[in-house]
Amino acid sequence: MTVMMDTGNRIAAKAAVMAKPEVVAAYPITPQTTLVEAIAEYVARGEYKGEYICVESEHSAMSACIGASAAGSRTFTATSSHGLLLMHEMLHWAALARLPVVMCNINRVVGPGWNIWVDENDSISQRDTGWIQFYCSSNQEIFDTVIQAFKLAEHEKIVLPVMVNLNAFILSHTSMPAEIPDQQVVDDFLGNYVPKWKLDIENPTTFGNIIGPAHYYKVRRAMQDAMLNAKKLIPQITNDWKKASGFFHGDLLEYYKCEGAEHILLSIGAIGAESKTAIDELQKAGHRIGLARVRVIRPFPTEDIIKLGKQADLIVIDRNISIGSEGALFNEVKAALYGESDAKVTGFIAGLGGKDVTYKDIETMCLKALKDKVREQQWYGLEG
């Protein structure tokens, strides 16, 4: 075990290389660029021996991953914001083709106006493509989640692509320590990749051909079944990684001081990490409040949310907005509780466009939720 003090992007690159993908497709976009640059450095030093493909666009990056994965290779790529949106068609393709591609997405604003800072609208807008989605809150979690993502994606009961999301600059360009296990630990955890199917001229298979309504219907149902399987396997995989590495960041959710809480805060990404300090301060002031940081948006942890709703009233902070509706987490939490719990759910939208959200801001939102008996979502921090 060694300690690596570096940015989230470079730690993600270290994890990707240690997973030994046979193909990495690379195209730059701020603030993701330093991730694929770091992998290029591993290539230059002879520490990564797979195929490193420099492509002409993000659409091509995902297309290259699709081709490589269909040929039976473990694959990895990374992108951000408009790059993720340019991939949109091929995100559907990878999922429907049941290809276990792993990708890091650096959550960045979608323009115009042009802005390179964080919010989560890029990945939230891709919820329906069939990709499993993780959201990280520290550089250590980034490393561990990338490794876990390969294990999950390639499992015979899943075989779906996985997106590991990290906030622009707050994580991507901030140096924090991460403990890196020995290569043998990662090798033993992942094992050799054995594709569940692949293009093979010795064993011909029809791939991506015309499909009728009845069979297409079954394809979609099979994807849904795989997502539901992931709800059961993510806790198993995270606990297996804890045994192998010593690190655990929660499974579908990470619970922090929730025992006996009458109110529970739900948030994702870096806001989820900052929320721990806010919870500490609120508890010192006598408030019975805990935190459940949501790590996985797809599959959505409905059953876990219902349990929380039966224990406490919920407060939700979103760093995204589904225009014409509400913040995505707020909306999905309410849907999960429908008919299952009478918990009051108060929501806030905060931090869009990279606007800072401090633990003091989180405290203020929580206190407002405790005071105001409202159920609608509010915008926090518009002034200034």
- 177 and 87 fall within a common domain: yes
Q: Name every residue whose Cβ is closer than 8 Å to that of residue 132 and which is 6 or more positions away in sequence.
A: 149, 152, 153, 158, 160, 161, 162, 163, 227, 230, 296, 298, 299
**Whether residues 120 and 42 fall in one domain:** yes
Structural domain ending residue among the three candidates 194, 227, 245: 245
Question: Is-cis flag, bond preceding 31, omega within 30?
Answer: yes
Q: Please, are residues 65 and 39 in contact by the beta-carbon 8 Å criterion?
A: no
Examine the domain organization and report whether 174 and 277 are in the same domain. Answer: no
Sign of the Cα pseudo-torsion (189, 141, 65, 23, in order): negative
Decide which of 245, 276, 297 is a domain's last residue: 245
DSSP state of 114: P
Pair (167, 305) in one structural domain:
no
pLDDT at 344: 94
Residue 229 and residue 115 share a domain: yes
Q: List per-block mean pLDDT (blocks of 10 residues) for the chain, which spans 384 residues.
A: 97 98 98 98 96 98 97 97 98 97 98 95 98 98 98 98 98 98 98 92 85 93 98 98 97 97 97 96 98 98 98 97 96 96 95 96 96 84 78
pLDDT for residue 384? 57
Asked if residue 209 is part of any domain, the answer here is yes
pTM above 0.75, yes or no: yes
Q: Check whether residue 112 and residue 236 sit in a common domain.
A: yes
Question: What is the per-residue DSSP string for 289-357?
Answer: EEEEEE-EEES--HHHHHHHHHHSEEEEEES---TTS--HHHHHHHHHHTTT----EEEEE--GGG---
Examine the fold and report which residue of 245, 270, 289 is the final residue of a domain before the chain moves on: 245
282 part of a folded domain: yes
Question: Position of tokens 């994580």?
Answer: 171
The answer on 175 and 311 residing in a single domain is no
Domain of residue 323, CATH code: 3.40.50.920
Query: Looking at the domain assignment, is residue 51 inside a domain?
Result: yes
Same domain, 164 and 192: yes
What letters, b where the CB count within 10 A reaches 16 and e where it falls short, cover 193-232?
A: bebeeeeeeeeeeeeeeeeeeeeeeeeeeebeebbebbbe
Task: Supply the range of the domain harboring residue 268.
Answer: 253-379
Report the pLDDT value the prediction gives residue 252, as an integer from 0 to 100.
Answer: 98
pLDDT digits (tens, 9 = 90+) for 26-44: 999 999 999 999 999 999 9
pLDDT at 375: 72
Residue 90 placed within a domain: yes
Q: How many domains does the chain have?
A: 2
Query: Nearest 5°: phi and psi at 263?
Result: -135, 140
Do 197 and 309 reside in the same domain of the chain?
no
Q: Is residue 198 part of a domain?
A: yes
Judge whether 140 lies within some domain. yes
Query: Within this chain, do residues 149 and 226 fall inside the same structural domain, yes or no?
Result: yes
Same domain, 108 and 180: yes
User: Residue 42: which CATH number?
Assistant: 3.40.50.970
Please report the pLDDT score of residue 376 as a whole number: 79
pLDDT of residue 197: 86
Domain annotation covers residue 384: no
Pair (18, 123) in one structural domain = yes
Measured in residues, the chain has a length of 384
Give domain status of residue 199, yes or no: yes
Confidence at residue 205, expressed as pLDDT on a 0 to 100 scale: 81
